[in-house]
Structure 1
Amino acid sequence: MISMENLRNRRQIVDRKAVIAGLDGIATEHAPDSAGFRAEALQYLKTILAHGRTVVEQRFKEDGDGSVAMRGFTFLTDQVIRCIFDFTVGRIYRLTNPTSGERLSVIAVGGYGRGELAPYSDVDLLFLFPYKQTPWGEQVVEFMLYMLWDLGLKVGHATRSIDDCIRLAKADITIRTSILEMRYITGNRPLERQLRSRFMKEIVEGSGLDFVEAKLAERDERHARLGDSRYLVEPNIKEGKGGLRDLHTLFWIAKYLYRADEVSELVARGVLTAAERRRFLKAEDFLKTVRCQLHLIVDRAEERLTFDVQPELARRLGYKDHAGTLGVERFMKHYYLVAKDVGDLTRIFCAAFEAEQQGRGRFRMPRFRFTKVPVEGLTVDGKRVDMAEKVSLKADPVLMIRLFHFAQSRDLDIHPNALRIIRRNLKLIDNSVRENPEANRMFLEMLTSKKDPETTLRRLSEAGVLGRFVPDFGRVVAQTQHDMYHVYTVDEHTIRAIGVLARIESGVLGEDHPLSNDIIHKVLSRRVLYVAVLLHDIAKGRGGDHSVIGAEVAETLCPRLGLTAAETETVAWLVRYHLVFSHFAFKRDIADPKTVENFVNIVQSPERLRLLLVLTVADIRAVGPKVWNGWKGQLLRELYYVAESVLSGGHAIKGREARIRASKEAFREAMSDWTAEELDRYIARHYDPYWLSLETQAHVRHAHIIRRADRERAPLTLENRSDSFRSITEITLYTADHPGLFARIAGAIAIAGANIVGAKIFTTADGLALDSFLIQNDEGGAFDHPGQLARLSAAIEQTLNGTRRPRQELADRRNSALPSRTRVFTVEPVVLIDNNASLAHTVIEVNGRDRLGLLAELTLAFFDLSLSISSAHIETFGERAVDVFYVKDLFGLKITNQGKLKLIEKRLLTALTGTVEKKKKASPKPAAGKETQAAE
């Protein structure tokens, strides 16, 4: 049971006698049941509560001890409740001759019952009566609750008799848990003792196994609901895996089974060692401290460590920036290591409980006997492998690797006792073990096994073995990246990527990744692929290019693991270029032959192409649950097929004129129902880039759209088609061309709630615009709901006819929106201009903080600069926007003038930062009226 005795100078927080005297003084001036008394008493108690909170918070600021702070807030609340109760029953509803039923006990339950009251936690109370509620009891409870609510406390309450508590505890595990950790505050003490006695006798005794099973099932459901990982980058410190609630679960089980009120009692029972007790208390103190700081920072009850509070938390807890590592990243790494300790303690605790129950013959699972196995030093207990008694790891430290290897080969779990022994002997995994050929052979077999390598790697990592055996991996354990794109820590992302790779190979993800599922069986070395995935991010957090540094790590590590020189070279190449496939697929125009040429020059072989594609898919898929979508898959497949054709001796990069002729001929064949004259006339309406940039299927679809629009003389034609597999909706627009059209359409699409991820812009010889926009919803799926599409069509039409001004609407939305939690991130704006990436275009890449309407601002900047956009490739990585544009000048040429290039960079940087300058003087452009509309 918690004690307030170690709180220093408790009267400085609140002096109960003085408070009672103050209330008595108010009562002498007002009738106790008058409105005047209540108002003055309430104001007085608010002052007392505010003073006490200030004292506790100031002490917390000085000593940074969350456990002490929670006891301080608990003590303050206890005393206020006692004062209100004493005055209520002593002055307002005083009984001169109470009956046996007019007794009341006020009991703290929940976190308040444990004495863990964070600054803005709920105050959970049980008003306990001996029998049914009485009129006197109703009045007392009502008065107290209204006083507490008016004081600003968030009070949750239950009013029950002892019989009610026992009856409900039998049926509801949550109520049973709340009574388990009840704590007397004030009122009739024998009532509380009677409930406690009956609860232990009628509920707890003989039901330990049921309670444990229920609490562990409750924990598993909670973990699944909150992401089932302790390595989320925005973890829930209370409910998440490895958080405070997991420690509470251990506390409840210990209290229920062993009647333990303190963790130290579990050491005497042999459940935990003294070292494990210290880990428990250290983890608990850390999590309590972080939770208190979190509440005070956001000024409310909040349990998620969101990006916007992490830097301030790190600052308050004393984590400073070091070379190559931010203080916030160091703080979060500490958090993940603590969460890992909580998981370790949970397994150890549950194993001790299981062993005790088996010893009593009460455990429901069959009682297995230890059996010998073909590996000396190991035994099997049911479905778990354990260390044999009196085994000497000092004599054979490789046994730690052998245990996991054997468990994987036999589909066995690891016994917590073995994990405990391994953790105590991790230092034995030194260079002699790392260089041991057998240890490296077994590790490589585990990594490349078809028996769930993800689970085995996670077990190795959580036991600390993986980080010791591969020290470079140990450096990224709990390594976080302070951005909104990466959902997991580096080590968790890597292990998940191995799992994705294994599921692709097994065919489980064949429907999502048909190409990868096919070509993974054609790679010449599975070992190369699995090792490359393991090492692709191993050098993150070192302050340099992690791809380059990672390749150097691979060159050293691969020979140690037993890979050949050729395999080592390939792994190092894959690590060095593991971002290349996504770079070209997502940021470059695949229809541009120069894109394919540059990509092929890097890849150089069909085998590397296959390996790189599968690695890229596994990498992206493992970033987070919402990062992968069908559109990305389609872009990767398109680049793969054209690159494969070239690498296999095809002619994807044949002459421009030949490609144009072939495209037109394919169109003629597909449009066999048109006359030769109609085909000649239609083909002449399009410039050469149109025939180079699209496939025949798109040419045919556009031809039908244009013919129908021309016949109907429609001023604006909008067509949409959605592809759920590609997670994309294509909007085709056909209308009269005019300057700034792209900027206005981009603005209209933004106010309709869609995100542009790609665009192709064409102008016909007779001055009409034929533009295709690829859009998605906020979840990365097709923008295909009928209501969404109707709003989009209306927004585009109203923008083009001048009745809506997207730029102003977007500005108003930004100004009225609540501050984004992404504001804590620093995204340095960058403009990169490349005249070598395309034969006919200047390629401009802009990087900056994403915001509502950014694309509209950027395309308006291109309009102001008199540049025409031929295609756009839009990508967002959390808070970072990466947009690539293929542009030409007014004469249809690349931009080569250095002065013009500097002007482009300056103007785009201005747009990226959101500080668009007022135009001093409009440059001469045609259709001035339309330009004004475009600027709006």
Structure 2
Amino acid sequence: MRQSRASSSSCVQGVLLQCKSARRDFQPFLFFLVLILREPRGRGGEPRASMQQDTECSLRSRFLARVGEQVALLPRLQSGRAMAATLTAFMDDALIRLWNQTLEGVEQTGFSASLFALGGTARRELCPHSDLDLLLLYDGDTASIEPVADGLRTALLDQRFRVGLATRTLEENRDVLRSDITVATSLVDARLLVQHGAQALDAVSPPSIPLRGEGAELASDLRQDARAQIRLAGKGPFLEAILQGLQERHQRFGDTIYLLEPQLKAGRGGLRDLQTVAWTAAVLFDNDSLSDLARCPHVTRLEAQRVLESYDFVMTLRHLLHHAAGWKNDRLTFPFQEQLAQSMHFSSNHRELAVESLMRAFYQHAHTLEQRSRRWLERWSLHAGTSRNDRQIALEDTQYTPVPLEPWPLELREGRIAASDDFQSHFTKHPEVWVRIFQVASEQRLALHPELADSVAAAARSLGESWANHPAVIGATCELLTSVDVSKTLVDDFFNLGLFSLIFPEFRPVHGWVHHDIYHVYAIDVHSLFTLDCAKLLLRGELPEAQAWSLQLGRHLGEPRRLLMAALFHDVGKGRGGQHSNIGARLFRDIGTRLKLAVGLCPPWHDDDTEEVAWLVEQHLTMMNFSQRRDLTDDSTIDDFAGLVGSLERLDALTALSLVDMRSVQPGPVSTWKEALLLRLYSRTRALMESPASGLPNLAAQMRRQLARALTDPAQLELMTHLPDRLLAAQPFAVVCAILDTLANPADGTQVRLVEAGDHPRVLVIGDDAPGVLATFAAAFAALGVDIGGAHVYTTDDEVAIDVFGLSTRPLGDGSGELVVNLKRLIDQALAGAVDLDRLIAQRRGSELLQRDRPSVRTHVALSNELTSEQTLVEVAALNRLGLLATITAALRTLELDIHVSLVSTEGAKAVDVFYVTRKGKKLPTAELPSIAQTLTEHIDAKSQSGRR
């Protein structure tokens, strides 16, 4: 047996070593693996049979059977909270029976003990794979209680339950209540399960806090003792710890509701948010149940009802997720989203998929939980003894005074903007008062008091269409949203409290609407607010990681108000079916009609403002598509784009909108590769519009003149004459110099060189030209797991292939030198037939253990002879995976197509790769395009496996 256990331990260690490099969290898997491999042991360490084995071995299966019965009733026949109560009752009974069975096997004298449920077990909120949190309090001989605790813990672990069992004496419990606010908080909702012995918890409390009884009152005693200790320590430190813990948890699990794969329990808007409210209400108001929240200060019955409905929705999702996953999985990943959408009876329609409907509902419920929980905690915190420092603020103190107004009193209460008692009386005379509040808060650099925020939310529910369409209201709203200095926090409050969608109902269909992909991280409305804020940062010159050109663009942009409105409304057409850009332009023209009638706008809104913003909304994807999917060295590309834009003012505005839109799709590092492409398109188009003689030959001539001034090596100057114009016009000066230096100093085999040019690195691969070399180069990158951002293919007059690969990420540390060596080795071996790159790619896919699940992406191939003058354009959209570029280029080679340009673009799980190809120097016959598209699609799908590019 010892040898078997050693073998098991070795197995676990091997899995642990693999997990160090794995992407997923293996803790739940390892937990169950250890349970499977562990052997029940007796008190002396000898093997033992499980206590009451026939009865106990059926406990887990009976519990899971009960789970299955309850899940079948969700969500139509019972609520998530009702299911949790049913599972908790089952487990209560099981714990009591296991307790009694444990006591039967030990000496029962010399101690008294009580077993308490904590956490979700105490709140009767068990989910199928929740942890069992228990506390064993005892008085007496420690040696006598140890077999009880060990026996109960072992019995539960043998049944594959996750259990946390704390064992403390009465004295230890008293000390920890005094010293550890976290432990004290965990006991505020403790619930007694069972006890043993005549003695109860006679010494749990300090003498100043008398006990009220035994038996069923023990749990109440323990709860009251924990609450009393927190109060004795001071409500202020407790509330400070609660709010700090809330903030830290949100940051740890993703500081936004709108995560692609939200955490249902601990994430922002998850179950833990309301549980934090429950703990706080228990300490401050002796509230013992979520059902009694309406009895707490500042909580209306309607608010409590809505919050509990949202809590129940998320609880239902957690039940279904645990049941579907088969373990304690609280992260709603993509495959489970699709499965739970079906379980929750969501259906697809012309606007959105069933899974998108599910996630929209979740985000709305999570928003309710997060907003109300935060608001209640803030109000309770402010009223728990915060000092008051009031001063009057009159509206005429602000800069927004389009007409003479009587000042209405606002006051600084507890460090925040609040309204005085007669504030409501000013509403009939000045309906825009609800918007002006935010302007005052912005200029005073203060947040809204929770009471005032609640008043704003109540007003948003009661105000009607006539108020929303009032010219003064629309004018004040436009001024608020397009003021560069108004913070995102205040704009978010304006949005979250309901005023924005009341004034602009066109926005309601995209509220909480999400794309089911891993590229669009945020819901559409949240992405729009991020884009608005990003545009303000650009205009203020504060855009993070901004390049000089973008900062200059922001400083000199004409009509910044148009950019801000386009940033806010660019996706307003989504969620309606059809081309959202066209729909959004039409919707904004309706909005512009109302803006034209607005009172107080300076300068007033005109028809040309509406048309320019509508044009930006309609074209907001055009520049990104041109820059990432068209050859920017092709003069016809620049001509087409310049003709579409028509003016320098529109070019500047569209470039700025494209930049802030790209920046706001998801958090994380800026894509310098995409921004570089955007800059190149902007620069070439602006040069063409300013000087028609700025085409490809002129750009190449400029580069030759620059090189002639800088180079001193006659060999390099001679080699420069053999470089194609496309290369000289497209590549930065540093890259061209590196190419000439490499050509002038030849070495054996393929030459590989890493060049730092601008904000992203490029890899030069130079060697003899031959059919299929691009496919070989791409496969070598894939075999090394390198992400390629794009590729340009050139051939010199003397048949030397020069391929320039842009990398999506920079190699870390000393990895650049290692990358160059390994690339050269692999390419030379592959060209010599000494290595199978396909096999290496397959091995790398296999080594990426349990990769992240992603939504499916349908392969789509389109070919066109209309978009370029000399080549056929091939566009491939497919699942972004390891080796995709190598797969496509190999397929094109099989079709005897020559690749001149390869452009790579990724949108999360989706890759869009574009190739400019010819056959024997000519475009492909138009009649062959459909069959080639079908062949490419079949080849890519046949090779498709999950993985990175």
Query: 3-state SS of the aligned residue for 1:167?
Result: helix
Taking the aligned partners of 2:367 and 2:665, their CA distance within structure 1 comes to: 20
Residue in 2 aligned with 1:920? none
- The match for 1:874 among 897, 904, 922 is 904
Contact 1:551/1:576 (CA < 8 Å) preserved in 2? yes
Query: 3-state SS of the aligned residue for 1:487?
Result: coil
Query: 3-state SS of the aligned residue for 1:142?
Result: helix
- The match for 1:671 among 680, 703, 711 is 711
1:240 aligns with 2:249: no
Taking the aligned partners of 1:60 and 1:280, their CA distance within structure 2 comes to: 22
Q: Following TM superposition, by how much is the alpha carbon of 1:490 offset from its aligned partner in structure 2, in angstroms?
A: 0.7
Matched to 1:239, the amino acid is A
Q: Following TM superposition, by how much is the alpha carbon of 1:338 offset from its aligned partner in structure 2, in angstroms?
A: 1.2
Residue in 2 aligned with 1:7? none
Taking the aligned partners of 2:937 and 2:895, their CA distance within structure 1 comes to: 13
- 5 Å-filtered alignment, 1:401-412, equals 401-412=435-446
Taking the aligned partners of 1:489 and 1:740, their CA distance within structure 2 comes to: 42
Q: Following TM superposition, by how much is the alpha carbon of 1:674 offset from its aligned partner in structure 2, in angstroms?
A: 0.8
Residue in 1 aligned with 2:308? 281
Matched to 1:894, the amino acid is K
Contact 1:280/1:342 (CA < 8 Å) preserved in 2? yes
1:619 aligns with 2:674: no
Query: 3-state SS of the aligned residue for 1:186?
Result: strand
Residue in 2 aligned with 1:27? none
1:705 aligns with 2:718: no
Taking the aligned partners of 2:722 and 2:74, their CA distance within structure 1 comes to: 77
Taking the aligned partners of 1:343 and 1:689, their CA distance within structure 2 comes to: 54
- Judged with a 3 Å threshold, the aligned counterparts in structure 2 of structure 1 residues 859 and 674 are, in CA distance, closer, same or farther, namely same
- The match for 2:294 among 267, 277, 288 is 267
Residue in 1 aligned with 2:83? 69
- The match for 2:935 among 897, 907, 911 is 907
Q: Following TM superposition, by how much is the alpha carbon of 1:120 offset from its aligned partner in structure 2, in angstroms?
A: 0.8
Q: Deviations over 1:133-187 (max 9, x none)?
A: 6211111111211111111001112221122223223333321221222211122
Contact 2:534/2:660 (CA < 8 Å) preserved in 1? yes
Matched to 2:796, the amino acid is T
Q: Deviations over 1:203-233 (max 9, x none)?
A: 4345222111101101011112223111223
- 5 Å-filtered alignment, 1:330-729, equals 330-354=357-381, 356-357=383-384, 363-368=385-390, 374=396, 375-376=407-408, 378-389=410-421, 391=424, 395=428, 397-509=431-543, 511-562=545-596, 563-626=605-668, 628-653=670-695, 656=697, 664=704, 666-674=706-714, 679-680=717-718, 682-683=719-720, 685-686=722-723, 689-691=726-728, 693-694=730-731, 697-709=734-746, 712=747, 714-723=748-757, 726=759, 728-729=760-761
Q: Deviations over 1:71-106 (max 9, x none)?
A: 2222222222211211121x21033xx23xx12222
Taking the aligned partners of 2:916 and 2:337, their CA distance within structure 1 comes to: 38
Q: Which moved more, 1:862-871 or 1:784-793?
A: 784-793
1:799 aligns with 2:833: no
Q: Deviations over 1:235-261 (max 9, x none)?
A: 211111111111011001001111110
Q: Following TM superposition, by how much is the alpha carbon of 1:424 offset from its aligned partner in structure 2, in angstroms?
A: 2.8
Matched to 1:854, the amino acid is L
Matched to 1:313, the amino acid is L
Q: Following TM superposition, by how much is the alpha carbon of 1:664 offset from its aligned partner in structure 2, in angstroms?
A: 4.7
Q: Following TM superposition, by how much is the alpha carbon of 1:687 offset from its aligned partner in structure 2, in angstroms?
A: 5.1
Length-normalised TM-score, structure 1: 0.87
Q: Deviations over 1:252-297 (max 9, x none)?
A: 1001111110235443343311111211211221111111111111
Contact 1:453/1:502 (CA < 8 Å) preserved in 2? no
Contact 1:440/1:560 (CA < 8 Å) preserved in 2? yes
Residue in 2 aligned with 1:172? 180
Residue in 1 aligned with 2:865? 835
- Judged with a 3 Å threshold, the aligned counterparts in structure 2 of structure 1 residues 510 and 855 are, in CA distance, closer, same or farther, namely closer
Taking the aligned partners of 1:40 and 1:88, their CA distance within structure 2 comes to: 8
- Judged with a 3 Å threshold, the aligned counterparts in structure 2 of structure 1 residues 77 and 838 are, in CA distance, closer, same or farther, namely same
Matched to 1:800, the amino acid is L
Taking the aligned partners of 2:62 and 2:654, their CA distance within structure 1 comes to: 63
Matched to 1:903, the amino acid is S
Contact 2:841/2:883 (CA < 8 Å) preserved in 1? yes
Taking the aligned partners of 1:782 and 1:147, their CA distance within structure 2 comes to: 51
Query: 3-state SS of the aligned residue for 1:425?
Result: helix
Aligned-pair RMSD on alpha carbons? Answer: 2.8
Contact 1:32/1:38 (CA < 8 Å) preserved in 2? no
Matched to 1:708, the amino acid is N
- Judged with a 3 Å threshold, the aligned counterparts in structure 2 of structure 1 residues 898 and 834 are, in CA distance, closer, same or farther, namely closer
Taking the aligned partners of 1:583 and 1:280, their CA distance within structure 2 comes to: 43
- The match for 1:293 among 320, 324, 340 is 320
1:740 aligns with 2:769: no
Taking the aligned partners of 2:811 and 2:519, their CA distance within structure 1 comes to: 13
Taking the aligned partners of 1:370 and 1:291, their CA distance within structure 2 comes to: 48
Taking the aligned partners of 2:229 and 2:845, their CA distance within structure 1 comes to: 60
- The match for 1:187 among 195, 198, 201 is 195
Q: Following TM superposition, by how much is the alpha carbon of 1:736 offset from its aligned partner in structure 2, in angstroms?
A: 2.2
Q: Deviations over 1:814-836 (max 9, x none)?
A: 467666554543x2322222223
Contact 2:855/2:909 (CA < 8 Å) preserved in 1? no
Query: 3-state SS of the aligned residue for 2:73?
Result: helix
Taking the aligned partners of 2:59 and 2:664, their CA distance within structure 1 comes to: 52
Residue in 1 aligned with 2:16? none
- Judged with a 3 Å threshold, the aligned counterparts in structure 2 of structure 1 residues 170 and 513 are, in CA distance, closer, same or farther, namely farther
Contact 1:516/1:613 (CA < 8 Å) preserved in 2? no
Taking the aligned partners of 1:329 and 1:874, their CA distance within structure 2 comes to: 28
Q: Following TM superposition, by how much is the alpha carbon of 1:686 offset from its aligned partner in structure 2, in angstroms?
A: 4.4
Contact 2:569/2:617 (CA < 8 Å) preserved in 1? yes
Contact 1:849/1:912 (CA < 8 Å) preserved in 2? no
Taking the aligned partners of 1:782 and 1:773, their CA distance within structure 2 comes to: 20
Structure 1: runs of 5+ lacking an equivalent: 1-30, 358-362, 917-936
Taking the aligned partners of 1:94 and 1:659, their CA distance within structure 2 comes to: 93
Contact 2:341/2:355 (CA < 8 Å) preserved in 1? yes
Taking the aligned partners of 1:874 and 1:783, their CA distance within structure 2 comes to: 26
1:94 aligns with 2:107: yes
Taking the aligned partners of 1:269 and 1:148, their CA distance within structure 2 comes to: 38
Contact 1:32/1:92 (CA < 8 Å) preserved in 2? no
Residue in 2 aligned with 1:308? 335
Contact 1:513/1:633 (CA < 8 Å) preserved in 2? no
Q: Following TM superposition, by how much is the alpha carbon of 1:306 offset from its aligned partner in structure 2, in angstroms?
A: 1.6
Q: Following TM superposition, by how much is the alpha carbon of 1:746 offset from its aligned partner in structure 2, in angstroms?
A: 0.8
Matched to 1:698, the amino acid is V
Taking the aligned partners of 2:89 and 2:156, their CA distance within structure 1 comes to: 15
- 5 Å-filtered alignment, 1:91-170, equals 91-95=104-108, 98-99=109-110, 102-130=111-139, 134-170=142-178
Q: Deviations over 1:557-603 (max 9, x none)?
A: 12322421111111011111111121111112211111111111111
Query: 3-state SS of the aligned residue for 1:543?
Result: coil
Q: Which moved more, 1:809-818 or 1:449-458?
A: 809-818
Length-normalised TM-score, structure 2: 0.85
Q: Deviations over 1:584-625 (max 9, x none)?
A: 111122111111111111111111111111111111111111
Taking the aligned partners of 1:212 and 1:798, their CA distance within structure 2 comes to: 66
Q: Which moved more, 1:325-334 or 1:511-520?
A: 511-520
